[in-house]
Amino acid sequence: MESSAKNKELYQDMVKKASPNSHIFKNCIKAFVVGGIICCIGQFITNYLKELGLTQNDTGIYTSSVLIFIAALMTGLGLYGKLGKFAGAGSIVPITGFSNSVASPAIEFKKEGFVTGLGAKIFIVAGPVILYGILTSVIVGIIYYFLK
């Protein structure tokens, strides 16, 4: 049982053979359906708000806010985690997934206080998305400025 480079390589092959793979096709279908439903709900809200006479810009903001609220509420009730287990990327990619990734650490780290716990850890999952999202938008903005 020497952990030589050759044995390590052989072992990686053994691990690969012994480890079951996730059901990618089944998961993709589930993600497609659930993600689609979430987007349909968003579209439904948008149409409804338009009916009420809101402008295009305002409907976008209100629709996002409603979806974010629903997902945060579902996270608090312990439902979004269950949805995520079923849907995978289908519930992570829409804006509701972003809401869940902020709300769940907020709940988890509340016990360590509102500043050192909740405050410091709230973006532990969403932080990279926010940072690199903003960074990308700045870069794209600069490119756009020069190409315009």
Partner 1 sequence: MAKHIGKQSVKFESKISVISTASTVGTKEGEGPLGQYFDVVLKDAVDGEDSWEKAESKIAKDNLSLAVKKAGLTMDDIEYIFSGDLLNQGTGSAYGIRDLKRPFFGLYGACSTFGESMCLGSVMIESGGASKVLVGASSHFCAAEKQFRFPLGLGTQRPLTSTWTVTGDGAAVLSKDGNAPFITGMTTGKIVDFGVTDANNMGAAMATAAADVILANFKDFGISPDYYDLIITGDLGYVGKDLTIDLLKKEGVDISKNYTDCGIEIYDRESQDTHSGGSGCACSAVTFSAYFFDKMKKGELNRILFVPTGALMSSTSVQQGESIPGIAHAVILENSFEEVI
Would you count residue 25 as binding partner 1 (CB under 8 A)?
no
Q: What secondary structure does DSSP assign to 10-76, as a single string?
A: HHHHHHHHHSPPP-HHHHHHHHHHHHHHHHHHHHHHHHHHHHTT--HHHHHHHHHHHHHHHHHHHHH
Would you count residue 98 as binding partner 1 (CB under 8 A)?
no
Q: x/- binding map, residues 64-93, to partner 1, per CB under 8 A?
A: -----------xx-x-xxxxxx-xx--xx-
Q: x/- binding map, residues 28-67, to partner 1, per CB under 8 A?
A: ----------------------------------------
Pick from 6, 22, 57, 147: which binds partner 1 (CB under 8 A)? 22
Do 37 and 83 touch, CB atoms closer than 8 A?
no
Q: What are phi and psi of 26, to 5 degrees?
A: -60, -45
Would you count residue 104 as binding partner 1 (CB under 8 A)?
yes
Residue 126 CB partners (closer than 8 Å, separation 6+): 98, 101, 102
Point out which residues bind partner 1 (CB under 8 A): 1, 3, 7-8, 11-12, 14-15, 18-22, 27, 75-76, 78, 80-85, 87-88, 91-92, 97, 100-101, 103-105, 107-109, 111, 124-125
